[in-house]
Amino acid sequence: MSGRIDRELQQTVESVLNNDKNLKGYGLQAYVNNGEVEVTGIVDSLSEKEHVNRVLSKLNGVRRVNNGVSISTDGAIDDEDVEFEVAEELNADPAVNLKHVGAKSVRGTVFLQGHITDQEEKKAAIKAASKARGVTNVVSRLKLEDKNDLSLKELFHSQVNNDRENPEKEDFIVE
């Protein structure tokens, strides 16, 4: 009985992979054994690989998804290219403020750096970065912005004002 159920589930899985708008062009392969789905193939981005897990894990009868899908691009892409593409994806997402969020790529692992205003911005930044070609992993080093922190401009001006207010300091003239 388990063999028949696995065959039916495999047909369903293959149908989903072949008809899903984000996955149908990749020719991903699946094998089902006792409700565990093993998926192999190649996609262009981390978000597509993660999408495989999301769509297949929702299917009735799927106990587990073993995602053996690889991420590859058409041609050579280096860390500078990845950073450029991540910046484009971050810029395209209105929930992410590029003035405070940046990215660094090391062999396809993207490190998001900077400050965010809330957790929704963090989620949006991670999701956007995972859409870029060449990204194999996203690591968030984003910190929640402390409302009491001064901006660089505010910090600079507070230091300048403090210097003027201290009469014991000498004035220096730069020529």
Q: What is the pLDDT of residues 27-38, one digit of tens each?
A: 999 999 999 999
User: In the chain, what percentage of residues exceed pLDDT 70?
Assistant: 81
Q: How far is CA 144 from CA 26, 79, 119, 167, in A?
A: 38, 26, 8, 38
Q: Which residue has the higher pLDDT, 38 or 168?
A: 38
What one-letter code names the amino acid at 18?
N
116 φ/ψ angles, rounded to the nearest 5 degrees: -120, 160
Please report the DSSP string for 89-117 in residue order.
HHHH-TTS-TTTEEEEEETTEEEEEEEES
The tokens describing 36, both together, are: 């565990």
Q: What is the pLDDT of residues 45-94, one digit of tens each?
A: 899 999 999 999 999 999 999 999 998 876 778 889 999 999 999 999 99
Q: What is the pLDDT of residues 83-131, one digit of tens each?
A: 999 999 999 999 999 888 999 999 889 999 999 989 999 999 999 999 9
Q: Alpha carbon 174 to chain centroid distance? A: 47
Residue identified by tokens 């810029």 is 91
